[in-house]
Structure formats: structure tokens, C-alpha cells
């Protein structure tokens, strides 16, 4: 849980370290970036360094404070939680932040609040926390983590120091996937392309058995889609519905399939394909679809993602998508 264990995010780490060095710590930060991009790791590493009793820019890892951070029960580092899945209520912010921050730290220099998914704070909750952000006690530090900066009120944003995570370099990700996770080259590249600079996303793909099923499902739907009749499409839709909770990943994988079709069409070679084992089907589709048609399919997947993001009807959106993908 120290900075040196984090892969990538050099800019944010440099910022944190120099603010510790110069003793210029802000009272409120927003760390913004994709789901699984490492926001919580960064927040925890910063909190560990700030609270470390040996007071260096890099936490010592051995003092009582560092040990408490490791075990996840540091009395002066509070991870804000919420009961309902889609919202952080004003009561939760009052109890866990506003009332708590009025009490001095138990034994550390700071009292640090980490709020994951801060975009889930409703307007009331955000307005309630605003006052704490504006007039925090000397020892109070708030770290708001969010995958959707736009959902935070402009007043909240403007009073926090906003740090955006950047994609991790490819070679750093590859190195990690191959050495630390022991992936072979083919799987490492597959995860790399899927994750687009998001190491957490790549690790999830590498480790999770459900992803293997999702990949199988994507392949089984897409390789035959042009031959499907109405009933087949219905069946495909009900298969996809099983992965409703991972639909973004499902759609990312669909996009990778068509990028492969495009790649084959351009290079006429199997070397750079991600779905190498489906080479015959990719070749067939590359021959069948025009460049425009492949591009249209990729755009249609992108549109479906956007629509689902704003809570469009799942079945209608996916039906429409499957029809577009089937079209030649
Ligand atoms: Zn320490």
C-alpha cells in the first residue's frame, strides 16, 4: 500500500510526494478515473504516507500506523461506506464524515476520509459535504474518488484539487501481466487490448472465470450472427442478458472482435489478431463485410454503450445492436 507498489500514475504520485515534502497538503482532493483504474490504491498509498510515523514521502511500512493501514483498520483513516447500491445519502455523509471530522484524530496527525464512488452522493449529500470542504478542521483531509466527475456539483469540483488518472504505459502493463500474473504472451496481449491502459481492468479479466465465459459467449454470438434468423437472435439476446451486470465488458469484447475483422481485412494476416483461435470466422467476415460496414458495426456498439449508460431499455438496445451487427 505504498507508492512504490503502484504501477503507472507517476504524475499523481509525484504530486502527492511533493506536497508531503513541502508540507502543502490540500484539504480536499478528487481522484477521477475509470472504474478499476487504481483510484483507491492511490488514495490508500497517500493516506499511508501521510499518517506514517516516520514522516517520509514513502511510507515506512513498519510503524504502528503503517501496520494499521495494512490491516485495514486505521482509526484515523475512514473509508466511507453506503448501504444502498446506487446512492450515498446525506445521512451517511453526516454520520460518517461531518460529525466524525469534528472529533480530533485518535493518534495521528491527520484524519483522512476516503469516499469511493463519490459520484453516488446525491445533491443533498454533496451540499452537506460542501461546508466541510470549505472549512475543514486543520487535521481533516477528504479524498473523493470518482469514475464520473461530471456527476459532482461544480461547487464541489471547484473547491477540490482534481487529479485525473492516466492510462498506464503498455510495456509496464505487459510486464506486470507476464511476470506478476504469469500470463503467456497471447493472453497478456488480449488483456492489454481489452483494458486500454486500465491495469485493474486487465487484472480482472486475467483472474476472473466469468470473463472466460463472457469471451466464449461473445465469440459464439458474433461468429454466426450473419446467419441468424429471428429466433436465433432472440436466443442470443437471452444469452447476453445473463451478463447484464458486465455489459460494458461484453460490449468491449464485441468491439475487439470487429477490430480483429478489420485488422484481418487490412493485413490479411493472423499475427496481430486477438481472437487467433477464431481465425477462420474472422477471415470469412473480413471477406464478407466492407470497411464501411465494419466501421458501422463498431460505431453501433459504441452507441449501445452510451445508451445503456443513460439507462435506455436493455432489451431494445441490444436487439437493435444485434440487428445492426447482422446486417451486411
Ligand atoms: Zn510508517
Ligand 1 center to residue 39 CA distance, Å? 21
Residue whose C-alpha is closest to residue 196's, from 142, 252, 269, 245:
252
Q: Are 51 and 69 in contact (CB under 8 A)?
A: yes
Read off the pLDDT of each residue in 158-165 and give the average, rounded to a whole number.
97
Ligand 1 center to residue 43 CA distance, Å? 16
Specify the CATH number for the domain of residue 286.
Answer: 1.20.272
Q: Which residue has the higher pLDDT, 111 or 209?
A: 111
What is the DSSP secondary-structure string of 161-210? EEEE--PPPHHHHHHIIIIIS---HHHHHHHHHHHTT-HHHHHHHHH-HH
Residue 279 lies in a domain: yes
Q: How far apart are the first and last CA of the chain?
A: 51
Pair 94, 231 in one domain = no
- pLDDT at residue number 209: 79
Q: Which domain holds residue 252?
A: 208-326
**CB-based neighbours (< 5 A) of ligand 1, an ion:** 52, 59-60, 63, 66
- pLDDT at residue number 302: 95
Ligand 1 center to residue 24 CA distance, Å? 20
Confidence of residue 7 (pLDDT cuts 50, 70, 90): very high
- pLDDT at residue number 273: 86
- pLDDT at residue number 305: 92
Residue 103 exposure: Cα atoms within 13 Å on the Cβ side? 12
Q: Which residue has the higher pLDDT, 1 or 53?
A: 53
Cell of 272: 496481430
pLDDT, mean over the chain: 94
Specify the CATH number for the domain of residue 84.
Answer: 3.40.50.300
pLDDT digits (tens, 9 = 90+) for 91-149: 999 999 999 999 999 999 999 999 999 999 999 999 999 999 999 999 999 999 999 99
* Residue reference for cell 469540483: 157
Ligand 1 center to residue 113 CA distance, Å? 19
Distance CA 7, CA 15 (A): 15
Ligand 1 center to residue 5 CA distance, Å? 15
Residue 179: CB partners within 8 Å, gap ≥ 6? none
Pair 154, 236 in one domain = no
Ligand 1 center to residue 72 CA distance, Å? 14
Residue 178 lies in a domain: no
Ligand 1 center to residue 161 CA distance, Å? 25
Ligand 1 center to residue 110 CA distance, Å? 14
1 pLDDT more than 80: no
- pLDDT at residue number 99: 96
Pair 271, 158 in one domain = no
Q: How many domains does the chain have?
A: 2
pLDDT digits (tens, 9 = 90+) for 306-328: 999 888 899 999 999 999 999 87
Ligand 1 center to residue 117 CA distance, Å? 27
Pair 24, 142 in one domain = yes
Ligand 1 center to residue 22 CA distance, Å? 18
Read off the pLDDT of each residue in 6-21 and give the average, rounded to a whole number.
96
pLDDT digits (tens, 9 = 90+) for 222-263: 999 999 999 999 999 999 999 998 898 899 999 999 999 999
Residue 170 lies in a domain: no
- pLDDT at residue number 277: 87
Ligand 1 center to residue 180 CA distance, Å? 25
Pair 244, 306 in one domain = yes
Question: Phi, psi at residue 100, to the nearest 5°?
Answer: -70, -35
Amino acid at each position: 500500500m505504498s507508492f512504490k507498489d503502484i504501477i503507472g500514475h507517476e504524475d499523481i504520485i509525484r504530486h502527492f510526494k511533493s506536497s508531503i515534502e513541502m508540507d502543502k497538503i490540500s484539504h480536499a482532493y478528487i481522484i477521477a478515473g475509470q472504474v478499476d483504474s487504481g483510484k483507491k490504491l492511490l488514495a490508500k498509498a497517500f493516506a499511508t504516507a501521510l499518517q506514517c510515523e516516520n514522516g517520509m514521502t514513502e511510507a515506512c511500512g513498519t510503524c504502528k500506523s503503517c501496520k494499521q493501514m495494512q490491516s485495514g483498520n486505521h482509526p484515523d483513516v475512514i473509508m466511507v461506506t453506503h448501504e444502498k447500491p446506487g446512492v450515498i445519502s446525506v445521512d451517511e455523509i453526516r454520520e460518517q464524515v461531518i460529525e466524525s471530522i469534528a472529533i480530533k484524530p485518535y493518534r495521528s496527525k491527520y484524519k483522512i476520509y476516503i469516499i469511493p464512488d463519490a459520484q453516488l452522493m446525491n445533491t443533498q449529500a454533496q451540499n452537506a459535504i460542501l461546508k466541510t470542504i470549505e472549512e475543514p478542521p486543520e487535521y481533516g483531509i477528504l479524498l473523493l474518488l470518482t469514475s464520473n466527475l461530471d456527476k459532482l456539483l461544480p461547487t464541489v469540483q471547484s473547491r477540490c484539487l482534481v487529479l485525473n488518472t492516466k492510462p498506464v504505459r503498455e510495456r509496464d502493463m505487459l510486464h506486470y501481466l507476464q511476470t506478476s500474473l504469469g500470463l503467456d504472451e497471447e493472453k497478456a496481449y488480449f488483456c492489454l487490448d481489452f483494458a486500454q491502459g486500465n491495469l485493474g481492468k486487465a487484472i480482472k479479466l486475467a483472474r476472473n472465470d466469468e470473463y472466460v465465459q463472457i469471451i466464449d459467449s461473445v465469440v459464439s454470438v458474433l461468429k454466426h450472427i450473419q446467419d441468424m434468423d429471428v429466433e436465433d437472435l432472440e436466443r442470443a439476446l437471452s444469452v447476453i442478458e445473463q451478463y447484464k451486470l458486465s455489459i460494458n465488458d461484453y460490449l468491449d469484447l464485441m468491439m475487439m472482435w470487429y477490430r480483429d475483422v478489420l485488422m484481418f481485412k487490412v493485413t490479411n494476416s493472423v499475427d496481430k489478431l486477438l481472437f487467433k483461435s477464431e481465425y477462420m470466422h474472422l477471415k470469412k467476415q473480413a471477406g464478407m463485410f466492407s470497411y464501411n460496414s465494419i466501421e458501422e458495426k463498431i460505431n453501433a456498439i459504441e452507441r449501445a454503450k452510451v445508451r445503456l449508460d443513460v439507462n435506455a431499455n436493455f432489451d431494445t438496445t441490444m436487439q437493435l445492436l444485434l440487428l445492426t451487427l447482422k446486417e451486411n
